[in-house]
A and B are shown apart, each in its own frame.
Chain A
Amino acid sequence: MITARLGAALLAAGVLAAGRAGPYDITLLSTPAAPDARGSARLVSAESPFGVAVTADGRARYDIELRITGLPAPSSLGAYRTYVAWAATPDLAHWTRLGPVTNGSSTVGTAEYNKFLLVITAEPGSEPAARSGPTVLHGTSPSGWLQTFLAHPIFRGAPG
Chain B
Amino acid sequence: MTFGPRFTLAALVLLGASPAAAQRPDSGMTMAMPGMASPMPIPMPPGMVMIPGLVGLAPAVTPFLPGVGVDPASLAEAGPMRTVTLASGDTFDLTASLVRRVIRGHPYVTYAFNGEVPGPLITMPAGATITVRFHNRIDLPSTVHWHGIRLDNRFDGVPGVTQAAVAPGDSFVYQVHAPDGGMFWYHPHVREDIEQALGLFGGIDVVTAAIDSAPVNARAVLFLDDLLINADTLIPFGREVPDFTLMGRVGNVLMVNGGTDYRLAVRAGDVVRFYLVNTASSRTFNLSFGGAPIKVIGSDVGRFEREAWVPSVVIAPAERYIVDVRFDSAGSYPVLNRVQAINHFIGEFRAEVDTLGVVTAAGATLADHHADFDSLHTNADVVRDLARYRSAFDRPPDKRFTLTVSTHGLALPTAQFMTIDTAYYAPVEWIDGMPDMNWLSTADQVRWEIRDDATGKVDRDIDWHVPVGSLVKVRFFNDPKSFHPMQHPIHLHGQRMLVLARDGVRNTNLVWKDTVLIPVGSTVDVLIDASNPGAWMMHCHIAEHLGAGMMAVMHVDPR
The answer to whether B338 and A56 touch across the interface, beta carbons within 8 angstroms, is yes
Residues of B within 8 A of A58 (CB): 286, 312, 338-340, 351-352, 430
The answer to whether A52 and B351 touch across the interface, beta carbons within 8 angstroms, is no
Measured CA separation A130–B264 after assembly (Å): 45
Residues of B within 8 A of A55 (CB): 311-312
For the complex, is A108 an interface residue (Cβ under 8 Å from B)?
no
Main secondary structure of the interface of A (DSSP, over half): loop
For the complex, is A148 an interface residue (Cβ under 8 Å from B)?
no
Q: Which parts of A47-79 form the interface with B (CB within 8 Å)?
A: 47-52, 54-60
Measured CA separation A22–B504 after assembly (Å): 14
Residue of chain B at shortest CB distance from A114: B349
Q: Which parts of A27-64 form the interface with B (CB within 8 Å)?
A: 44-45, 47-52, 54-60
Residue of chain B at shortest CB distance from A58: B339
Residue in B312, B503, B520 whose beta carbon sits within 8 Å of that of A56 in the complex? B312
The answer to whether A49 and B340 touch across the interface, beta carbons within 8 angstroms, is no
The answer to whether A50 and B519 touch across the interface, beta carbons within 8 angstroms, is no
For the complex, is A142 an interface residue (Cβ under 8 Å from B)?
yes
Quick one: CB contact mask for A76-105 with B, threshold 8 Å, 1 for yes? 000000000000000000000000000000
Given contacts A44-B503, A58-B339, A143-B349, contact A52 B517 (CB under 8 A): yes
Residues of A within 8 A of B480 (CB): 22-23
The answer to whether B304 and A114 touch across the interface, beta carbons within 8 angstroms, is no
The answer to whether B347 and A143 touch across the interface, beta carbons within 8 angstroms, is yes
For the complex, is B70 an interface residue (Cβ under 8 Å from A)?
no
For the complex, is A149 an interface residue (Cβ under 8 Å from B)?
no
Residue of chain A at shortest CB distance from B297: A49
Number of A interface residues, CB 8 Å?
25
For the complex, is A1 an interface residue (Cβ under 8 Å from B)?
no
Measured CA separation A115–B517 after assembly (Å): 22
The answer to whether A51 and B520 touch across the interface, beta carbons within 8 angstroms, is no
Residues of B within 8 A of A59 (CB): 340
Given contacts A23-B520, A44-B505, A58-B286, contact A52 B428 (CB under 8 A): yes
Residue of chain B at shortest CB distance from A25: B521
Residues of B within 8 A of A145 (CB): 423
Residue of chain A at shortest CB distance from B477: A19
Q: Which of B198-206, B313-321, B390-398, B535-543 contacts A (4 or more CB under 8 A)?
A: B313-321
The answer to whether B521 and A57 touch across the interface, beta carbons within 8 angstroms, is no
Residues of A within 8 A of B521 (CB): 22-24
Residues of B within 8 A of A2 (CB): none
The answer to whether B424 and A143 touch across the interface, beta carbons within 8 angstroms, is yes
Residues of A within 8 A of B319 (CB): 51
Measured CA separation A95–B140 after assembly (Å): 56
For the complex, is A146 an interface residue (Cβ under 8 Å from B)?
yes
The answer to whether B310 and A48 touch across the interface, beta carbons within 8 angstroms, is yes
The answer to whether B338 and A57 touch across the interface, beta carbons within 8 angstroms, is yes
Residue in B339, B353, B425, B522 whose beta carbon sits within 8 Å of that of A143 in the complex? B425
Residue of chain A at shortest CB distance from B504: A44
Measured CA separation A114–B308 after assembly (Å): 25
Q: Which parts of B315-356 form the interface with A (CB within 8 Å)?
A: 315-316, 319, 321, 338-340, 342, 347, 349, 351-353
Residue in B296, B340, B481, B487 whose beta carbon sits within 8 Å of that of A114 in the complex? B340
The answer to whether A45 and B522 touch across the interface, beta carbons within 8 angstroms, is yes
Q: How far is the CB of B372 from chain A (nearest CB, A)?
A: 19
For the complex, is B532 an interface residue (Cβ under 8 Å from A)?
no
Q: How far is the CB of A45 from chain B (nearest CB, A)?
A: 6
Measured CA separation A13–B312 after assembly (Å): 39
> Can you list 8 A-B contacts with CB-CB less than 8 angstroms, sorted by A residue number?
A49-B299, A51-B428, A54-B314, A57-B351, A57-B353, A58-B340, A114-B349, A147-B347
Residues of B within 8 A of A (CB): 286, 288, 296, 299, 304, 308, 310-316, 319, 321, 338-340, 342, 347, 349, 351-353, 423-428, 430, 480-481, 485, 487, 489, 502-505, 508-509, 511, 516-522
Known: A45-B427, A52-B487. 18 other contacts (CB 8 A): A23-B520, A24-B425, A45-B519, A45-B522, A49-B509, A50-B310, A50-B517, A51-B314, A51-B487, A51-B516, A52-B314, A54-B312, A54-B428, A55-B311, A55-B312, A56-B286, A56-B311, A58-B430
